[in-house]
Chains A and B, each alone.
Chain A
Amino acid sequence: MDKNPLAVNIAGVKFKNPLIAASGTFGYGLEYSEIYDVSKIGGISLKGLTLLPKEGNDSPRIAETPSGILNSVGLQNPGTKAFVNDYMPKIKKLGTVLIANIAGNTLEEYAQTAKIVSASGVDMIELNISCPNVKQGGMAFGVEPDSVRAVTEKVKENSSLPLIVKLTPNVSDITKNAAAAQKGGADAISLINTISGMAVDYKTRRPVLKNVTGGLSGPAVKPVALKMVWQVYNTVDIPIIGMGGIMSYTDVLEFIICGASAVQIGTANIYNPTAMPEILADLERYFKENNLTLEELKGTLIV
């Protein structure tokens, strides 16, 4: 028996503990590694990558809202070439599970990006399907179950790494999209990405974000995320990585109880750079005191 009560295996990849940094809030791990030993955390979902470099949207790209933030970064990233050549040599030394979060505007872009990152030394791929599909009128890939399945299949054909499909909550029935991802060959599902929203300054009558709309994250989204994790847990057989507003170890426990095998932590890092090691210490204490394992707690919601 594994002695570490927090160890978890997802699609054959071993995590020391279920705390994974959420994509876009942890860069490529390098900034936080100047602050603490990031090898302590379970893994990092790296900043969303596109085939070619992307400058993202204009500032302001962040708005503070009650209990959360809206962001409109617009996937600014250095592109796959710089990722492989300049970043990966440093990221590889971080000593934790590395997940490449990939995005694109066409199926072909997803395929090529998947192929390149698969040979870069990362452990897994997470598919960000919240991006507009330019060939199909700009609706996000993640909205229609058919296109979720198509993009999942396409990436599977182009990569042998375990694949996590990250679902967007901006859909009518998330269970259909989760089922479509599983049919397309996903090895795991992560959810939720940000909820689309906006902030307005009544004095200037302008939106706070230059991009007008953005994605909401933080404590405000946790109830929505918990519900969706629970719904998806009751729909698919593959492991689930839950996220949305996790700020403390009790939030982590709630996600696990709703069926998540592991969790991602995003906005909490932005509020507090040492949020993850702090939550981990509390979680370790809880499992020790209660003589529990993650596996025993998973999906134990009593309804």
Chain B
Amino acid sequence: MERKITVLSNKEIAPKIFKLTAAAKIPDKTRCGNFVHIQLKEKPLRRPFCICDFSRELETLTIVYEVKGEGTKLLSGYQKGTCLDALFPLGNGFDIKSAKKIFLVGGGLGTAVLPAAFKSYEGEFTSFIGFKSKENIILAEELSLGGDLFVSTEDGSFGEKGFVTDCVKREISLRKPDIILACGPEPMLKSLQKISCQFGTKTLVSLEERMGCGVGACVVCAVKIKRDGQEHNMRVCKDGPVFDINEVVFN
């Protein structure tokens, strides 16, 4: 496990949303869906962020985060050269097996999990990302480099008007993906669960829950997962954050 990263750049890319790139040695096993657990100097608990992108050659790691509370506010103030204690790669990541035709689906900030897919898997990618409005769009350029990209906004100010899942539903019968990798708010995931069921497409989602240790030992990060007909509390940090959407029990 790697522990040290050094901030190279930390810029606001949309209102309250920052992209932080850091110098970091990238372990071989790093893949899309893993997360990094960052110690902020002034806060007891580490903060988890998905590994948005990485480069083994350039030795860089990128996260994209929203300023939500005190921790992310502190993070947004770290300048070039700041050394951080960051544990990574943590969590299971997306296990796509032998899938080749891959749909990447992101709602809002959930989009941040997707770009690393191009570094992690060989395949034919189609990306779908949805936001409230034009000003909230993030990572469109990065995702357009990996394949076709569909952008939707709820208010229609950019791309297609409506939810990202409307777009997915239309394209799924045309493009017949082997797998869907997704991250986003709960309503989006619920809608994707229905789509996945209807079309029988394997769908993996990355979930969030409040964490302690981040390595599987304290069992505070429980999410409800249905296996063998029974609901179990499983650990987002170790058993997840990626789960099969059909096993996720939404509130």
Residues of B contacting A67 in the complex (Cβ-Cβ under 8 angstroms): 44
A76 touching B218 in the complex, CB below 8 Å, given contacts A69-B212, A270-B212, A271-B45 = no
Chain A min CB distance to B231 (Å): 8
Tell whether B124 is near chain A: CB-to-CB under 8 Å.
no
Residues of B contacting A250 in the complex (Cβ-Cβ under 8 angstroms): none
Residues of A contacting B238 in the complex (Cβ-Cβ under 8 angstroms): 31
Determine if A24 and B221 form an interchain contact, defined as CB atoms under 8 angstroms apart.
Answer: no
Residues of A contacting B220 in the complex (Cβ-Cβ under 8 angstroms): 59, 61-62, 71, 73
A59 to B208, CA, bound (A): 11
| Residue from B44, B87, B216, B231 within 8 A of A31 (CB atoms) | B216
Contact flags B197-236 to A (C-beta < 8 A → 1, else 0): 0000000000001111101111111111000000111000
Tell whether A58 is near chain B: CB-to-CB under 8 Å.
yes
Determine if B1 and A56 form an interchain contact, defined as CB atoms under 8 angstroms apart.
Answer: no
Determine if B44 and A61 form an interchain contact, defined as CB atoms under 8 angstroms apart.
Answer: no
A34 to B90, CA, bound (A): 12
Tell whether B31 is near chain A: CB-to-CB under 8 Å.
no
Residues of B contacting A12 in the complex (Cβ-Cβ under 8 angstroms): none
A146 to B81, CA, bound (A): 60
Question: Could you tell me how many residues of chain B have their Cβ less than 8 Å away from some Cβ of chain A?
Answer: 27
Tell whether A255 is near chain B: CB-to-CB under 8 Å.
no
Determine if B43 and A64 form an interchain contact, defined as CB atoms under 8 angstroms apart.
Answer: yes
| Among B39, B213, B220, B222, residue most surrounded by chain A Cβ atoms (within 10 Å) | B220
Determine if B222 and A69 form an interchain contact, defined as CB atoms under 8 angstroms apart.
Answer: no
Contact flags A35-55 to B (C-beta < 8 A → 1, else 0): 100000000000100000001
| A208 and chain B: residue at smallest CB distance | B210
Tell whether A32 is near chain B: CB-to-CB under 8 Å.
yes
| A27 and chain B: residue at smallest CB distance | B217
Residues of A contacting B1 in the complex (Cβ-Cβ under 8 angstroms): 35
Tell whether A60 is near chain B: CB-to-CB under 8 Å.
yes
Q: Is the interface of A mostly helix, strand, loop or mixed?
A: loop
| B216 and chain A: residue at smallest CB distance | A31
Tell whether B25 is near chain A: CB-to-CB under 8 Å.
no
A56 to B217, CA, bound (A): 15
Residues of A contacting B46 in the complex (Cβ-Cβ under 8 angstroms): 271
A59 touching B210 in the complex, CB below 8 Å, given contacts A64-B43, A64-B44, A271-B45 = yes
Tell whether A273 is near chain B: CB-to-CB under 8 Å.
yes
Tell whether A269 is near chain B: CB-to-CB under 8 Å.
yes
A32 to B219, CA, bound (A): 13
Contact flags A63-78 to B (C-beta < 8 A → 1, else 0): 1100111010100100
Tell whether A233 is near chain B: CB-to-CB under 8 Å.
no
Residues of B contacting A26 in the complex (Cβ-Cβ under 8 angstroms): 217
Tell whether A25 is near chain B: CB-to-CB under 8 Å.
yes
Chain B residues within CB distance 8 Å of chain A = 1, 39, 43-46, 85, 87, 209-213, 215-224, 231-233, 238
Q: Can you list 25 A-B contacts with CB-CB less than 8 angstroms, sorted by A residue number? A: A25-B213, A25-B217, A27-B217, A34-B215, A35-B215, A55-B231, A56-B219, A56-B222, A59-B220, A59-B222, A61-B210, A61-B219, A61-B222, A62-B212, A62-B218, A64-B43, A69-B44, A71-B212, A73-B219, A76-B219, A76-B222, A218-B44, A269-B218, A270-B212, A270-B218
